[in-house]
Amino acid sequence: MTARGIFITGTDTEVGKTVVACALTRGFKALGLRVAVMKPVAAGSVRTASGLRNADALALAAASNVPSTYEQVNPYCFEPPVSPHIAAKDAGINVDADIIRRGFIALGQSADWVVVEGAGGWLAPISERQTMADLAWALGVPALMVVGVKLGCLNHAQLTRLAIEARGVSFAGWIANHAQAPMARVEENLAALERLLGEPALAHVAYSPRETPTLALAEAAARLAGSTSAF
């Protein structure tokens, strides 16, 4: 596999992982790169004539420029919007990180980058024994942390960063996403994030409901693509 991968995690669910993953995918495309996408495990989907479909997986697939089947993008798709380990147990399915890893490698054969979006936060369980962190580790790619800028994010961002490092996954950086209307004292909070995380954000995404569906993070993608770290 010649492709490079990146695992998009976040400080919580609903912090903007999908928005950022799609925007980075468009950013890599703007650099002329072939970008495959994965939402390996999704819980919360609708029944269609073709089977279960999850909105995150569809949004990622729409942003990608590498042809793939729905099942390649989202091998584990569960209907109820609950923790994946509960949805998987209900469905009698074992989420197998090795199957996901093989799918990831196959997608990477025809791509320069594979952008992978986790479900929930970094330690969200995918089975009785494994979490999203184990999946990122199994894929062998660095984790990019989306910080949902809101009250509580200073704590959640540090916890997530520490947990990424504790799992032995390399940290690709963080993106500040304003998924909600501005929080109080936002500039001081952003300065605190930069100080506590020890590095500036790769990008700041403004609160922009109308622009997020087409947003392209070209500069952040270029910085990731130019990075020489081992991923």
Ligand X SMILES: Nc1ncnc2c1ncn2[C@@H]1O[C@H](COP(=O)(O)OP(=O)(O)O)[C@@H](O)[C@H]1O
Q: What angle do CA 132, 138, 139 make, to 5 degrees?
A: 95
| Smallest distance from Mg ion to CB 191, Å | 27
Of the candidates 193, 111, 98, 206, the one whose C-alpha atom is nearest the C-alpha of residue 145 is: 193
Token pair belonging to 112: 């320069």
Q: Using CB under 6 A as the criterion, which residues of the chain lie in contact with ligand X when the complex forms?
A: 10, 13-19, 56, 177-179, 205, 207-209, 212
Site for Mg ion in 42-61 (CB under 5 A): 56
Residue of 4, 17, 26, 29 that binds Mg ion (CB under 5 A): 17
| Smallest distance from ligand X to CB 145, Å | 11
Residues 6+ apart with CB under 8 A from 36: 3, 64, 66, 68, 107, 108, 110, 111, 113, 114, 115
Question: How many Cα atoms occupy the beta-carbon half-sphere of 43 within 13 Å?
Answer: 21
Residue of 9, 11, 18, 25 that binds Mg ion (CB under 5 A): 18
> Is the CB of 95 or the CB of 205 nearer to ligand X?
205
Choices 11-19, 77-85, 100-108, 130-138 (CB under 5 A): range interacting with Mg ion? 11-19
| Smallest distance from ligand X to CB 1, Å | 26
Please tell me the distance from the alpha carbon of residue 132 to that of residue 185, in angstroms, as a whole number: 32
Beta strands in the chain (DSSP E): 4-10, 35-38, 41-43, 46-48, 51-53, 76-78, 113-117, 143-148, 171-177, 203-205
> Is the CB of 13 or the CB of 83 nearer to ligand X?
13
> Is the CB of 112 or the CB of 144 nearer to ligand X?
144
Select from ligand X, Mg ion, none the partner in contact with residue 205, using the beta carbon and a kind-dependent cut-off of 5 to 8 Å: ligand X
The residue nearest Mg ion at its CB is 18
CA 47, distance to chain mean position in Å, is 24
**Catalytically active residues, by annotation:** 39
Token pair belonging to 34: 């072939």
| Smallest distance from ligand X to CB 132, Å | 12
CA 49, distance to chain mean position in Å, is 27
Select from ligand X, Mg ion, none the partner in contact with residue 212, using the beta carbon and a kind-dependent cut-off of 5 to 8 Å: ligand X
Give contact residues for Mg ion (rule: CB under 5 A).
17-18, 56
